[in-house]
Each structure stands twice: as structure tokens, then as C-alpha cells.
Chain A
Amino acid sequence: MQQSRLFSLSCVLALSLTLSGMLAGCGSGSGGSGSGSGSTLPSVTVSGSNQVRLGSTVTFTATAVNLSNPSVTWQVNGVAGGNSTVGTINSSGVYTPPAAIPTNNNVTVTAVSQASPSISGSATLSILNPVPAITAAAASPVSGATYALEVDGSSFVSGAQIQAGGAYLTTTFVASNELQALVTIPAGATTLSVTVTNPSPGGTGSNPMSATVYVASVATAGRLLDQATFGPTLATIQQVQTIGADAWITQQFNTADTPLANIPSPLPALCLSANTPTNCEESEWWQTVLTGPDQLRQRVAFALSEIFVISSDTDNATTITYYHNTLAQDAFTNFYTIMHDVSVSPGMGAYLNMLNSAKAPAGQIANENYARELMQLFTIGLNELNADGSLQLDGSGNPIPTYTQAQVQAFATAYTGWTYATASGGVPTKFPNGTANYLAPMVAVESEHDTTAKTLLNGTVLPAGQTAEQDLTGALTNIFNHPNVGPFVCKQLIQHLVTSTPSPAYVARISAVFANNGNGVRGDMQAVIRAILEDAEARAGDTNPNYDGGHLREPMLWMTEFLRAVGFTNTDANGSYFSLSNYSNNLSERPYRSGSVFNFFPPSYVIPQSTLNAPEFDLENSANAILRLSLADSLVNNKITSFTIDLSATSQLGQIAAVSPGEMVDTLGKIFMHGQMPSDMRNEIMGAISGLGTAQQVRVATFLVITSSQYKVMH
């Protein structure tokens, strides 16, 4: 007897070591030993952990005793292999919980003997919520002391709660990696400690995280960047949120100019095949506005270039890079400086014929072109204005002209005698100087300057006998001091940066800053720019998504905004950005290539059959609307020559979409629409992308956003 017990024990040990159990001795012995004693009944015992969290697995083992075959079939809640509701278990006993906790979070794991199916063993398993983890948290101002808190991480489940400053917050579950809540933050607090707790069963808390307390909301940051750069990015939105609008503007004022490179001769590889410096000049422009850190400076220079227009359709492009640098470098100085530097620039000189305009001999008149357009388009306009931009009217209710034809001719004679500088920047002996110097201010040859007296505006007389520079300075000062300059120029700057239809009060406020920056200085560009961007009317849309203003994104800006928002790589062998001009040209815009001195669209344009003054709409018609749709298709489908634009499943947007398409659409809403995408628009887009593959979801959603009127009108 003793012997047989030992014998059986050794069989049990052997079998428990290997399920395949090939022990010859035991086999023959078991039948015999089973008789006549209190022998072990066949059984299967299941062992393993009794709880598992979503997202993890647990391995069960089945121990078969006294069975010819140790193999088992695993079940969960009686279902072989389990299912998607209660969790699955494979043939190795590895249990995987379902995606969500079932109604009864306790499941039974059973191992059924294959040799004797009536023999089985079970264990109970509790499925618990996972342990949440926080990777980032930030709070953005909403109003007053209320902030919108966003917590990013992993393993959040619906019902999770954010705890901040000791209190549980009403929490919105966005996705397993994002939660949102509103929180009150006392004034002066710069950080906020947050944790996340998942609900029962197994509710447990996350690591603590110190949330960044932003100074500015997404809406403020996004809108400011829309107004003051060539397009917001997630990084620049965060930057403005962190330091606030005012500090960002200051930082931008202190950011040096990114100059466009001079185009050498002979032409470099980049424009050699086209054999024109224009391709180089435009490439430089695109590259600078897309990548330069001095975004505000470049955006203001762009606005100035749409007022002080010159164009490569008549100018040599070599002088245009120099001209652009002049505008960019002067953008944060004084408006008088801009007037002067533009007037003596060879680019403007060639474009409006001040270059080589000589005092007129008998039988000729002095060239009137620059004299007229400097006043009509660049400084004071045709009619006397009030400070709020409205027209002054005479006793009969008619506008009052600012200048007469005689005054135009007087200015024309004042501007005579200027030509290209010599190669060293000096005064040539011959007039005109037949050798162009595109990279230095024009110089005056006094013998060609008309030295008669000139009667200018407001009775000012330039006395006879002055030099060309004295007459130029006198003329520009005369114009600069005209009260029209503030409203005329500032309203256009507002239209280019903020809104097509500023209220008269807004214009008046900025005109006042132009007239006097607070320290007795007239024409202070920094003061004017800051006042424009920080004005309550510019910032109204930050907290009011229904703000009825803004302006249509002109084609070049619409393109740069898209490229900056989603990112791009230049793939041209010579690093050329010029291909972008071919696309923008289809939409009737090309850098420094306006068809006339009136820019691509005039400031006075009114949408037909309305009273809406909306300059950019001059380019918005049935033809261009379709062309913009076609370009959008090319942009999102990576069909832009010389560039790679990645909206694939592995792109940043693609990776977000793979976790949550809704989060991807919200990310588009954040970058493109400063977090203010209307919910009906969001619903339409979500409906359109449901069921599509990840990459196509990103492309279609992005297409729908950038072609929507809600986006095209920056507001």
C-alpha cells in the first residue's frame, strides 16, 4: 500500500510538471493503484490573479489531476474563448479584458478538461478600470477666474474625474487620452496641481501633474496669430498662451529682420533655368514669410507692400528684394521714414517714374506719376477725411478733394533730378545713370533738379533754389503732416490685419495714436501696430465667436496659413520655394506681382448688391472660388511641386485621428479656427469622415475646414 501511494504521488508530480505527461510507468500503474484506496478524483484546478485592469492581461494556469490528457478548453463566463463583452482567453490561458468593463465586472474563467469534459475548474476574475496617467495639463483663461483645463495622458475612462487644488471638477471625457474641465484659479497663481481618478471598479488616482496656467486662451492666441503672422501653429499658439498677447508683440518688435537675400549676377541655380531673377525673388519671399521668426514684422511689411505697391511686371526683381527689406526694416520705425525710404528706393523710383524724372524742358511737363500716386494711394487719398476715416463734406454735401492738378504738378517738379546711384552708392556724373544700381537708394543730380518754387498743400511753399533732397524732404514732410495720413493709412492697416469694416471709433482710436504716440511723436509704427492689435475691437472675437467682422484670407495668406499649420518639407534640389507662386498665380496673386499700383484689390471694394466694404472679395468670384477648391485638393493630397505635405496616417494629425477622429477635428479647429469651430460645422465634418480610413479622414477633414467660408473669412 505504501508503495502504491508513493507511486501515485510521483505520477502527480510528474504530470503537474508537464501537461503532456508522458510517463510510462505511471500509466500502467494508475489503473491498479486506483483500486481499493481513498484515491484522488480527477480534477482541474485553475490558478491565476483574481483581478485585472483594462488594458492589461492575466495568465491562468490549469492543473489537471488524474486525467489521461491534461489539455483544457478555456472559457469565460461559459463561452469558449470568451467574447468581446466579457473578455477573451486563448489556448495558453492568457485572458484579455474587453475594451470596456462589462455590466457585471466579475467574470468566471473556466478550464474544461478535454479528456473528461465534465471535469473543470474555475476562478473568478474582477475587471477593473486602468490606472490613469497624466502626461501634460494646461489651463487657459475663459473669463474672469474661470479657466478651461485640459489634461492629456492615457488610460482615462469615461467617468474619470480631474481633481485640482483639492476639489473634484465636473469632467468631460474627450478620449482615453484627454479630459477637460472648467476650473477656478485664483489670481496670481501660475501653476495648478492636478490628478485624475478613474471611476469604480478599481478606481484609482494618477500621478500628480503641475498644470501650466496660460495667460491667454486658445482663441486669443489663435486670433492674434491669424492677425499678426503668416499663420498660427500649435507651437506659436502655445507660446502666445504662455506669455500673453502684449508680451508676444513686444518680443516680435525685438526680433530682428530676416532679410531676403540679394540676387547675385550671374543668376544662381535656383532661378537659372527660368533665366529671370523673379523666380529667386519670389522664392526668397515665400521662404521668409513661411519660416522667418520675425512673423509680425513680415506681416506688417506685407501690409505695407499692399499699400506702397511695386511690381515685378515692370520692375527688375533684383530691386524688389531690396525694397522688401526696406519695408521690413522700417516696419517698426516711423511712418515718415517709410515714406522717405520708399520714395528714394530704386524699386519705387522705377515703378512710378520718379527715377530719371528730370526737370522738364520747354514743351514737356515733369512726370506726374509718383507725385499723384504717393498722395492718392500711399498717404492722404483723394478726399479730406475725419479722424474716424469718414469723409468730410462741404456745404453742399460733397467730398472735399485733398489736392488739385496744379499741386500734383508742383510735387512732380519737386521730385525731379533723381537717378540710380553709382556702384559705390555715390552721385553719377551722367543723368540718367544708364547703369542700374538696384541695391542702393537713388541719388540726386542737382543739374537735373527743378529749382523753381513749388506751392504744395495747405499753402506750404518750397522756396526756389533748394536742392533735390531739400525739396524731397520738404514735400514729404508737407504730406506727412496732413491730418489725413492717420485715418487713411491706419484704416488700411486695420483692413489688412484685422477687419475689413472697422468701426469709425476704432479708426479714430488708432488715428489718435498715429497723431501722437503718447510722447508727442507722430507716426510711431510700434505704437500704431500695438494699438491696432490690442484694441478691444480686434480682441472682441476672442470671447465672442459671433463677432461680425474680420476679413477674407487673400490667396497668398491662405496658402501660407495652411502650410504653417500642417507643416511642410521643401524638396526642391535648389531649395526653391518658387513653385508656390504658380499656384497662387492661379488665384490672381503672386508676391510683388500686382497688375497695377492699386494692389491685387483696392481698399474701397464693396461686395456687389451689398454695402459691405470687403477689399479681398475683389478676388473672390465664381472662377477663383473653384480654383481655390482645386488648390485645396492639391494641398491636402501632397500634390504641390517642390514640397512634401504629410497628412498621412503617421503624420501628427494622423496619429491623433487613429486614437480619436473627434480629437483630430478639434485639433484642426484649434490650429485653423482658434478653437471656435461651430458645433454644426463640426458635426457635418464628423459625419463626412465616419467610416473612412485614418489618412483619408485627415485629408477630407482638413479639406473641408480650409475650404469652408467659416475658415476663409478670418474673424
Chain B
Amino acid sequence: MRQTRRSFISCASLAAAGNLLGLRPFGALNALAQTSSNYKALVCVFLFGGNDANNTLIPFDTTGYGQYNSIRGDLALAQNTLLPLTPAPNFALNPNLPDIQALFNSKNAAFVANVGTLVQPLTRAQYQAGQTAPVNLFSHPDQQLEWQNAAQSAATPTGWAGRMADVLGASFNQGASIPMITSVAGDTLFCNGNTTTPVSVSPGNVGGANCSEGSECSARQLTAQALLTLDTGISLVQADDGITSNAYAYAKTLSDAVQSITPLQTVFPANNGLASQLKQIAQIIQVRAALGVQRQIFFAGIGNFDTHADQLTLQNALLAQISPALAAFYNATVELNVASEVTTFTMSDFSRTFQPNSNNGSDHAWGAHHIVLGGAVNGGQVYGTYPTLVLNGPDDSDSNGRWVPTTASSQYAATLAQWFGVSAANLPTVLPSIGNFATNNLGFV
């Protein structure tokens, strides 16, 4: 729900009252952030390896399930194990996503069906005739990068999140002490802009470096930082100097910010890599006022989705990790009163062949179904067009069930970007091929 100008003004006067009550300016800023809330965050959860969407969102109507069951063979999930989606009765979920089912049914989550990398809309015939398509469609690194850069090839060196930070930074994060984008899953193209770079955080490790030298610690650090300023003329040394200098600064900012906060009460699942990452994101959101940010983009990700063999065992275990992790994160945003200000969405290299392979697995495919969740999401719906589950059918790029996407990842991104605050005028800067598509807003948020 958008803040109206009137409520913004009343919040400002509340802040002024705070000053009269003797709150420090810092405290006033906190009050401002919590009540006026022109804050938004996007959280990308990347499923590395290519999550099999065919076994994530499954048709539940008789015809649809029949098509699914007849082709999927050993990979088919029994219908009576699927989790029904009451607002969308023609669909059901993999049995290991009960939390997503609950969020969908309470209209705080939605699916976007058959979304994939595209430069322009393509039918099966157009694809097979060789019309312009993304480069290296079935290559992991290329498709990971193309989902992240929303470009035709992996060569484009910026991600669409980075480009958003480029255009929005001045408007929303003036005076922020930290970049708009935080990655808790290492270095990714998604987070790199033309002028902005992200901060990387190792989950659970927001402090500065350890030092055992007692009273000599500050002198040691000052010297280490002085060494970073020496000009060696060696390119990689200079590059490392820059990264390390930023590291000192961001570590100090973050550790100062989290120093005296009350830990969240929401319990995140243990032994769950994605949960650790999302918990760290929640903590950073908790201190957003101290960081001076009104817009944040977070990148999280887990791997091992490349289920060429033994898919049922492997994918089910992975989905069983994602479901409670996402739910806990949503609950944390509720606890922080930002449930409607944080939108989480998944991405993945590609989906997988609808036709199974000879190892109880599936191979690289294309169009996938992705999850969007958050209080602002118009949930309980399946957006886009679910593919016809027929090999060599109208949606098949070949004969193995590699669906030609009917929604472009750029459209998916554009919808999120506009919610986040990117204007129509700036949309082509963030998503250069968006103009090739009929709509730039799918309406799910």
C-alpha cells in the first residue's frame, strides 16, 4: 500500500515531536523509517543449476495431470501427493512446498508460468526457423548470466539489479553508507551496475576482521590500510586495493549498525543454507535506517538443482529446504512491519526437459515457473501462460519438452522494477529489450 503525501507529512511531524522528546537525530530517523516507510526491497533467490519447474508447479485438472503423468514417466509425482492451490484449482505444488502452498493460498505468493530468457517473443516455429534467440540457451553459465543481465548474451557485463541501482541511487539512497545492493551469496553479475557495485556479506559474519594483537591492533590496521594506498602500477594489485578498502568501510558500517539491535524473534530453520542467507538479509533490513537506505536489493542463492540423475530424491530435498526458508523470511518481514515492502522472487538458469532421461533425471531446457512472494504481491494466481505438456507440441522448442517461454524474463524483471520505483522512462535503460514485448507489467506486484 502506497504512502500518501498526507501520511508522510504526519510522519515528519512525529519525527519533530521525537526531537522535542529528546530523541537523538538517529532515533528520529528510526521513527521516520518505521512509520513513513518509503522503503522497498527486492530479494532475488537464485536456484543454480536449473530447477525442474515441471515438478514444481503441476497441472491438477484431469487433462493437464494426464498429460503430465503420461510423459513424465518415472519422474511423475503422484497426484494424491500434490499440494492443491485453492485459488488456482487447476494447479498444485510439489509435496515439498507446503509453506509456499500456504502463502499462495493466503494470497501472499504467486507463480509466473513459462518465463524464460528471450530477446523478442518467439513461437516454436520462429525459434526453429532460427529467429533471434538468446545465445547458448542450454549452457549453465550463459543462462545464469542472461537471467541476471536480461541481455541476449553473457557478454553484457551488468545485471538488471545493478542497472536499477545506477538509476535509482540518487533518488532514494542519498547519503546511504552502504551500496543499494547486498549479496549474501558471493559475487554475481546481477549485482553489478555501470556505476555501482554491491557489498558482499557472509551470512553471520557482519563484523570487521579479528585481531589478536591487543593494543597494537589499531596501528596494525592503519598500516594495512596504508599499504592499500601505495601505487604499484600493477592492475590486479590496484583492483584488490579497491576491493579491500571498500571491505574495511562496509564492515565498519555494518558492524556498527547491528551492534545494539534486538535479535529477531522469527525462527529460521537450522542446517539450511538458504535460511542462513535470508536470515542475514532480514537482519540488514532491520537496520536499514542506520544504513540510510530507502531501496535495497538483495541476492541470495543455492545450488545443486542440475538434476540430470536421481531427480526425485535430489530436487525434493532441495525444495524441502526452500519452502521453510522462504516462509521464515516472510514471517521475519511481518515481524519487521515490512511485509508489504519486501518482494521476494526466484530465478534459475532454465527449467528441465519434460521428457525424462535414462538416469531418472532430466536435462537442460528453457521456460520455467517462478515464485514471487511478499505482502505487495497480488497472490493466489498463476500469471503468464502455462505450457501445453505435449512433446513436439505447440510450446516445445524441439521434441523433448524444452518449452519456448511465453513470458520473457525481462517482463518478469520489468514488473518487479516498476514496483520498486523504476519509471517508465528509465525502464529501457534497466531492461534494454523490454520494448520488444507487448506488456512491461505482468501485474503480479
Contact = CB atoms under 8 A, between A and B. Distances in A.
Interface string A674-715: 000010110011011000100010011001100111101101
B355 A364 contact: yes
Contact of B237 (A405, A633, A710): A710
Interface string A359-372: 11101111111001
B200 A633 contact: no
Interface string B151-162: 000100100000
B223 interface: yes
B140 interface: yes
B236 A500 contact: yes
B200 A314 contact: no
A597 B358 CA distance: 21
Contacts of B194: 609
A275 interface: no
Most chain A CB within a 10 A radius of its CB, from B308, B356, B359: B359
Contacts of B228: 709
A623 B191 CA distance: 14
A620 B210 contact: no
A550 interface: yes
Interface stretch (A195-203, A350-358, A470-478, A483-491): A350-358
A622 interface: yes
Interface residues of A, number: 84
B435 interface: no
B134 interface: no
Nearest to B138: A405
A670 interface: no
A416 interface: yes
Contact of A608 (B140, B197, B308): B197
Given A548-B235, A617-B239, A709-B237, A681 B73 contact: no
Contacts of A597: 140
Contact of B205 (A551, A627, A678): A627
A612 B239 contact: yes
B96 interface: no
Nearest to B223: A688
Contacts of A703: 220, 224
Interface in B69-88: 71, 73
B256 interface: no
A626 B208 contact: yes
A535 interface: no
Contact of A620 (B201, B235, B240, B304): B240
A436 to B, nearest CB: 14
Contacts of B364: 368, 372
Most chain B CB within a 10 A radius of its CB, from A368, A614, A617: A368
Interface in A352-409: 352-353, 356-361, 363-369, 372, 376, 382, 401, 405, 408
A421 to B, nearest CB: 19
Contacts of B398: 405
Nearest to A370: B308
B202 interface: yes
Interface string B228-253: 10101111111111011011101100
Given A365-B353, A367-B363, A609-B194, A681 B358 contact: no
B186 A621 contact: yes
A595 interface: yes
B281 to A, nearest CB: 13
Contact of B216 (A548, A596, A608, A700): A700
B309 interface: yes
Contacts of B244: 625, 709
Interface string A596-620: 1110001010111110101001111
B21 interface: no
A365 B357 contact: yes
B99 interface: no
A589 to B, nearest CB: 11
Interface in B33-55: 48-49
B341 interface: no
B227 A710 contact: yes
B236 A596 contact: no
B309 A622 contact: no
A704 B227 contact: yes
State the main secondary structure of chain B at its contact with A.
loop
Given A688-B220, A709-B241, A630 B209 contact: yes
Contacts of A376: 139
A551 B73 CA distance: 49
Nearest to A588: B186
A367 B309 contact: yes
A607 B239 contact: yes
Given A608-B192, A609-B194, A365 B237 contact: no
Contacts of B213: 633, 637, 696, 699-700
B357 A625 contact: no
Most chain A CB within a 10 A radius of its CB, from B195, B210, B219, B361: B210
A713 B240 contact: yes
Interface in B129-182: 136, 138-142, 154, 157
A627 B234 contact: no
A52 interface: no
B424 interface: no
Contacts of B238: 709
B400 interface: yes
B199 interface: yes
Nearest to B391: A363
Interface string A577-599: 00000000010100000011110
Contacts of A685: 223
B313 to A, nearest CB: 11
B211 interface: yes
Contacts of B216: 692, 696, 700
A634 interface: yes
Most chain A CB within a 10 A radius of its CB, from B199, B230, B363: B363
B201 A372 contact: no
Contact of A614 (B197, B212, B236): B236
A367 B230 contact: no
B361 A609 contact: no
B25 interface: no
Nearest to A547: B234
A708 B236 contact: no
Nearest to A361: B358
A367 B205 CA distance: 40
B61 interface: no
Given A405-B398, A633-B211, A357 B157 contact: no
A494 to B, nearest CB: 15
A357 B140 contact: no
A704 B220 contact: yes
Most chain B CB within a 10 A radius of its CB, from A356, A704, A709, A712: A709
A608 B157 contact: yes
Interface string B378-404: 000000000000000000001010000
Nearest to B305: A596
B194 to A, nearest CB: 7
Interface string A537-553: 00000000011111110
A411 B304 CA distance: 24
Given A356-B359, A612-B239, A622-B246, A368 B308 contact: yes
Contacts of B357: 357, 360, 364-368
A364 B139 CA distance: 21
19 contacts: A314-B304, A357-B358, A363-B71, A363-B355, A367-B309, A367-B363, A547-B234, A552-B240, A596-B303, A598-B141, A617-B236, A622-B200, A622-B243, A624-B200, A626-B205, A626-B209, A685-B223, A703-B220, A709-B232
For the complex of A and B, the 8 pairs showing the least CB-CB separation, nearest first, are A629-B209, A621-B200, A625-B247, A709-B240, A369-B308, A623-B200, A688-B223, A623-B202
Interface of B: 48-49, 71, 73, 136, 138-142, 154, 157, 183, 186-187, 192, 194-195, 197, 199-202, 205, 207-213, 216, 219-220, 223-224, 226-228, 230, 232-241, 243-244, 246-248, 250-251, 303-304, 306, 308-309, 353, 355-359, 361, 363-364, 398, 400
